[in-house]
Amino acid sequence: MNPEFMRNAENKFSFAAFCLVMRELNSNPKAEIHLPIFFDATCSSIQHLAALIKDCELAQEVNLTSREDIDEPADIYNALRYPINEAIRKMGRENPLYPNLEFVDLSRSDVKHPIMTKTYNVTLYGIINQLKVKFKTNNGYKINSIHKGEMITVESRDIVEIAKVINDSIFNKYKGLNFIYNYFTEFTKILSKLSIPIIWLTPSGLTILQKYLESIESKITITLGGKTKKLVLREKTHKMNTRKQSSAIIPNVIHSLDASHIANIINSHLSKNMNILTIHDCFGSHPNDMVKLEKIVRLKFVSLYSNELFLEKFHNRNIQSILDYGFIIKRDDILNQDYVCYKTRSKLYIPNLPHLGKFNINKVLNSKYFIN
Q: Buried b / exposed e across 4-33, counting CB within 10 Å, b at 16+?
A: eeeeeeeeeeeeeeeeeeeeeeeeeeeeee
The answer to whether residues 260 and 207 touch, using CB atoms and an 8 Å cutoff, is: no
The answer to whether residues 55 and 357 touch, using CB atoms and an 8 Å cutoff, is: yes
State the Cα–Cα distance between residues 340 and 73, nearest whole angstrom: 46
Task: Judge whether 281 counts as a catalytic residue.
Answer: yes
Tell me, what DSSP letter sits at residue 153? E
- Which has the closest alpha carbon to 79: 58, 101, 53, 55? 58
Catalytic residue among 12, 40, 175, 239: 40
H or E, element range at 110: helix 108-118
Query: CA triplet 226, 227, 228: central angle to 5 degrees?
Result: 125
State the Cα–Cα distance between residues 314 and 297, nearest whole angstrom: 25
For the chain, what is the total number of helices (H) and then of strands (E)? 12, 13
Catalytic residue among 55, 158, 281, 289: 281
Kind of pairing, strands 207-210 and 213-224? unpaired
Task: Judge whether 358 counts as a catalytic residue.
Answer: no
Per the document, the length of the chain is 372
233 phi/psi in degrees, rounded to 5: -100, 130
Catalytic residue among 112, 193, 211, 292: 112
Residues catalogued as catalytic: 40, 112, 281
